[in-house]
Amino acid sequence: MASDPGVKSPMEAHGSYRGSDWSPQRLAFHQNLESFAERVGLIVALQSNGKLSQERAYAEIRSIWNQLKDSKTTLLNHTPPLQP
């Protein structure tokens, strides 16, 4: 049975990553960036509809921002190991 084309795996990028500097780490960060953007959109929608206070929305966005920064540090700002 074929899978639903509208359903994506959490490991699958939402959009394609195009860049001459492609690497598995950059692809993973790109996925994290897309996830961050989607989550911010959801939080803003919840706040706009009165489901979250502005303070709670800010705290949630700040939390996921810190997760994204940690992901960048882990995935993109590492020094590659020296080749023997």
Q: Please give the Cα distance from 37 to 68 (Å, whole number).
A: 10
Q: What is the pTM of this model?
A: 0.70
* Residue 1: per-residue pLDDT: 45
Instruction: Establish if 15 belongs to a structural domain.
Output: no
- Residue 28 domain-assigned (yes or no): yes
Question: Does residue 50 lie in a domain region?
Answer: yes
What are the CA-CA distances from residue 8 to residues 14, 59, 64 (Å)? 8, 28, 21
pLDDT tens digits for 2-58?
A: 455 554 554 455 556 667 778 899 999 999 999 999 999 999 999 999 999 999 999
Q: How many domains does the chain have?
A: 1
- Residue 79 maps to a domain: no
- Domain span at residue 69 reads 24-74
